[in-house]
Amino acid sequence: MTVTRYRYVPPRGADRVVNGAVRWLTDRGVSILGTRVLTVRGRRSGMPRRTPVNVLTIDGARYLVAPRGVTEWVRNVRASGGGELRVGRRRETVALVELPDAERIMVLRRYLRRWGWEVGRFVDGLTKDSSDADLAAAAPDFPVFRIESAGWHGRRG
């Protein structure tokens, strides 16, 4: 399951502002459409690395999708197996289990239905209406992790 696709798209001026605002709000307890800040130990440095992510819930199961491919957070998760999801002062320790390619299709479709407007330029023309065959062909390029909670910490609510 070694995948090397990484889609770097230089941030536009508005990207920095929007991404900064989303992270700032999430850090203060305001989740925009399921945003969380994922903290994972760096595989080389050992230092905590933080990145905003979109948590997708399907039938009670939660997932993280990497629309840019094998990013640094994906490499760090693969090395560590988990991390911490935060919104405000609420912290959830999680294990992140990577799905096999065949199980990614339904998650990718639902992710594109929810956030396609946000990630469209990273997913090489895929949309919520892409065929199962197109999603299956693309699945190896888009890491998907099932979130398994080890418990909440900090203030809830």
- Does a structural domain hold residue 7? no
Summarised one tens digit per residue, pLDDT across range 63-115 is 999 988 888 999 999 999 999 999 998 999 999 999 999 999 999 999 999 98
Distance CA 148, CA 36 (A): 15
Categorize the per-residue pLDDT at 157 as very low, low, confident or very high, splitting at 50, 70 and 90. very low
- Does a structural domain hold residue 140? yes
CA-wise closest residue to 124 among 84, 48, 69: 69
Q: Which residue has the tokens 């920095």?
A: 16
How far, in whole angstroms, is CA 1 from its chain's centroid?
18
- Does a structural domain hold residue 4? no
Task: Give the domain CATH number at 87.
Answer: 2.30.110.10
Identify the three-state secondary structure at position 26: helix
The C-alpha angle with vertex 11 and arms to 72 and 67, in degrees rounded to 5, equals: 45
- Does a structural domain hold residue 157? no
Provide the number of structural domains found in the chain.
Answer: 1
How far, in whole angstroms, is CA 90 from its chain's centroid?
18
Going by the DSSP 8-state scheme, the letter that residue 10 receives in this structure is: P
Summarised one tens digit per residue, pLDDT across range 125-138 is 888 888 999 999 98
Contact 146, 99 (CB under 8 A): yes
- Does a structural domain hold residue 8? no
pLDDT at 125: 83
- Does a structural domain hold residue 49? yes
Backbone angles phi, psi at 133, to 5 degrees: -65, -40
Model confidence, pTM: 0.83
How far, in whole angstroms, is CA 86 from its chain's centroid?
13
Q: How many CA atoms lie within 13 A of 133 on its CB side?
A: 0
- Does a structural domain hold residue 137? yes
Its domain, for residue 53, covers 13-152
- Does a structural domain hold residue 2? no
